[in-house]
Amino acid sequence: MQYNWDWGILFRDPYIWWLVDGLKWTLMIAMCAWVLAFVLGSALGIMRTSINPYLRLIGTTYVEIFRNIPLLVQLFLWYFVFPELLPEEAGRWVKREMPLPGFTTTVWALGLYTASRVCEQVRSGIDAIGIGQRNAGRAIGLSEAKVYIHVLLPNAYRIIIAPLTSEFLTIFKNSSLALTIGVIELTSMTRQIEEYTFQGFEAFTAATIIYSLVTFTVMGFMLHLEKRLHVPGRIVVEK
């Protein structure tokens, strides 16, 4: 194996700033997409567990469509096809004038895709609480909406902290797909460093360490949170 090592490259101007900038975009995509995925996913999870069959059908249809098409294909559909299907004015705005087109499209696509997965987690959390609490809530006179707000959701979120954490980490990792539509996030930056300096080994190692560090930090923090918010009386399944 012939290779000229130069680990110093990672700490030299401008490459270190490229990495910082890449990480910044990766985190921004992940967090914005997570807000969308969490809000929409929760709404869909409520719909899928609702007593109304039409709401359930809408929720199920959404989940089946979004989780059975590869994320990359969805990203291309939003980026290349969606503007063409809009009325002319709106399409032109999306293509020409929308600020940060790559970033916005990635957040949107990633958020909608992950919402289908969050929905399934919220649904399993609500199902795990059991019908008893729902009935009890109704029996003391809470409306259907109030049962969700005060009884089902607070419990469900506490049960599904671990799976929601891994969904967040999946968004964080999936944000790398943004490079296919020209967003210079962390993976794309390291690729760029490789192309400029031919120090691929060092560049990819840097990205690997940064991704792992963020992942393990988030996991450590959420494990701590999970212990504190543990619902008393539930058996903890050791992972």
CA atoms in the 13 A half-sphere facing the CB of 85 = 6
Is residue 194 within 8 Å of 204, Cβ to Cβ?
yes
- In this chain, which stretch among 60-68, 101-109, 119-127, 134-142 interacts with another protein, using CB under 8 A? 60-68
CB of 69 to another protein, least distance (A): 5
Neighbouring C-beta atoms of residue 152, cutoff 10 Å: 21
| One of 43, 56, 201, 222 touching another protein (CB under 8 A) | 201
Binding mask 159-178 toward another protein (x if CB under 8 A, else -) reads ----------x---xxxxx-
| One of 187, 189, 193, 202 touching another protein (CB under 8 A) | 187
72 binds another protein (CB under 8 A): yes
**Nearest-angstrom CA–CA distance, 79 and 181:** 8
Is residue 104 within 8 Å of 181, Cβ to Cβ?
no
| One of 64, 86, 154, 231 touching another protein (CB under 8 A) | 64
Sites for another protein among residues 207-236 (CB under 8 A): 207-208, 211-212, 215-216
Closest-CA residue to 45 (of 126, 114, 107)? 126
**Nearest-angstrom CA–CA distance, 191 and 121:** 34
CA dihedral (10, 195, 202, 6) positive or negative: negative
Residue 202 φ/ψ, nearest 5 degrees: -65, -45
90 binds another protein (CB under 8 A): no
- In this chain, which stretch among 33-41, 59-67, 96-104, 129-137 interacts with another protein, using CB under 8 A? 59-67
- In this chain, which stretch among 65-73, 145-153, 155-163, 225-233 interacts with another protein, using CB under 8 A? 65-73
**Nearest-angstrom CA–CA distance, 116 and 121:** 9
- In this chain, which stretch among 4-12, 63-71, 97-105, 130-138 interacts with another protein, using CB under 8 A? 63-71
Write b or e for each residue in 213-226: b if 16 or more Cβ atoms lie within 10 A of its Cβ, otherwise e.
ebbeebeeebeeeb
196 binds another protein (CB under 8 A): no
**Nearest-angstrom CA–CA distance, 110 and 183:** 14
| One of 56, 194, 197, 222 touching another protein (CB under 8 A) | 194
Binding site for another protein (CB under 8 A): 1-3, 64-65, 67-74, 76-77, 80-81, 84-85, 169, 173-177, 179-180, 187, 190-191, 194, 200-201, 204, 207-208, 211-212, 215-216
